[in-house]
A and B are shown apart, each in its own frame.
Chain A
Amino acid sequence: MTDNSSVIRLEDISYSYPGSNTNVLDHLNLEINKGDRIGMMAPNGSGKTTLLHTIMGLCKPESGTIEVFGKLLKNEKDFIPVRSKIGLLFQDSDDQLFCPTVLDDVAFGPLNLGFSPQDAIDTARNTLERLGIQILEGHVTHRLSGGQKRLVALAAVLAMEPEVLLLDEPTAGLDHKVKEKLIHILNSLDISYFVISHEFDFAKAVTDKIYSMEDGKILRDDEIHIHRHEHVHKHGRHPHNHK
């Protein structure tokens, strides 16, 4: 599975939001290789969402380079073809669902990729079925429950058949059963992904390594060992992991 070709590589990225002078990302380096399943657990406000938005070219870094599939991305134009190959699940599903009905929304991506309407509908239906939410097909998106929105947004992302997934807290607001389903789905995908989560159980079940973030930089597995250990003890019953 791992042939180690780099999918996403960030080097020396610094970013601060306009009007603020603290660097949310501070000379940050990150590499995601083919087949990588990386989890990210870090405190609120540490810049996780910002990191994902930077990868997608939604936040323009002040310094550093972004390389995706071996190509250097400099301006907006370079990002356009790449965006349909990286699936980003937004932290707030409300941002992601903007079409009137669920089917419209899930088909939006495939249509943009140049699918014919019929093919787009088929792809959308298949994806909904894969997530077990085909009954939501005709529902109006803004009337769904929070958890349902999450799943539909995930379907919308998966319908584009991305080569990498960036998931921003996919389990927030999901019940236990749906979470299990999500774990199953993620484990059955054979693409690389990067998952932000605040739930250790979930992150452990779907990823091979867990990163963290501090002071605008990525902390890798070995560096966050202590932190994770503490975390495990706090919540008791989970088996801990001494590497």
Chain B
Amino acid sequence: MIEEKFASGRSFIHQLDPKIRIIASIILSFAAALCDNLYIAGFYFIISSILITMAKLKWMDVVNRLKPLFWFLLMIWIILPLTFDGETVYQYYGLRITVSGVILCCKITIKSITILLIFTALIATMTVASLGNGLHRLYVPDKMVFLLLMSYRYIAVIEEEYKRLLRAAKFRGFNPKTNLHSYKTFAYLAGMLFVRASLRAQRVHQAMLCRGFNQKFHTLDVYQPNRLNSIFLMGIFAASLSLVIFEIMWI
């Protein structure tokens, strides 16, 4: 089950309209992705950290969320400095570590962490239902929103089914080894998983229809129209715009 761990807070960020948060995160992450200066990227990083603090998220949890990214970054740090052309800072026989390679790595690291922090602070702090609702009000086509919501639900369902099947097999003494019987069992499990998941998806859809589902998304989360919404959006917009202009004009 995908946990909406960050969605339950009561901070200032949590009370912002999903629509506003989606727009703000898109503006900020675009600006951050396009900037080409290490110091400016640092500024974006600071902004994103402020957002995380404002959302009152625990840094430990956030770092845990970023773990997969760290593996990716580690790979980049191993490969890029060695393969990039430029001034050499360190040489060990044939291996050369270049300055521009290291700088590029720093940029990629800061930018990718920044963008994930932005999305964690602004998007992960709403339930998927609210996200769907926000996208819907931003005129994203219903089908796309539906796809998002359904895959979110069905992934959880499929995982559940898989666990159930594996449990059933284990309770009957199945002990995976490297032999034909084990491979065959896993193939059965996989096949069964698809059948079950699609049948269940069908039944869930039927159940939704029975309860008046009409391709529209409603949430229980109410977002009061609030001046803070527009102030927040203006603030984000002004900050990114000034950083972009600053980079173009002076650097």
Contact = CB atoms under 8 A, between A and B. Distances in A.
A72 interface: no
Interface residues of B, number: 25
Contact of B211 (A121, A142, A156): A156
A112 B160 contact: no
A98 B210 contact: no
Contacts of B200: 94-95
Interface in B212-229: 212-214, 216, 218-222
Contacts of A118: 222
A95 B212 contact: no
A96 B220 contact: no
Given A90-B203, A98-B153, A58 B209 contact: yes
A92 interface: yes
A107 interface: yes
Contacts of B210: 56, 58, 83, 86, 88
A25 to B, nearest CB: 17
Looking at B1, B214, B218, the one whose CB has the most chain A CB atoms below 10 A away is B218
Contact of B222 (A84, A107, A117): A117
A156 B204 CA distance: 14
Contacts of A157: 211
A99 B152 CA distance: 11
Size bracket of the A interface? 20 to 34
Contact of A112 (B127, B153, B212, B222): B212
A121 B219 CA distance: 11
A117 B209 CA distance: 20
Contact of A121 (B4, B153, B213, B220): B220
A111 B220 CA distance: 8
Contacts of A56: 206, 209-210
B201 to A, nearest CB: 10
Interface of B: 1, 4, 127, 129, 153, 156, 160, 200, 203-204, 206-214, 216, 218-222
16 contacts: A53-B206, A58-B206, A80-B209, A80-B212, A84-B212, A92-B203, A95-B200, A95-B203, A96-B207, A98-B153, A98-B208, A100-B127, A104-B220, A108-B218, A109-B211, A156-B211
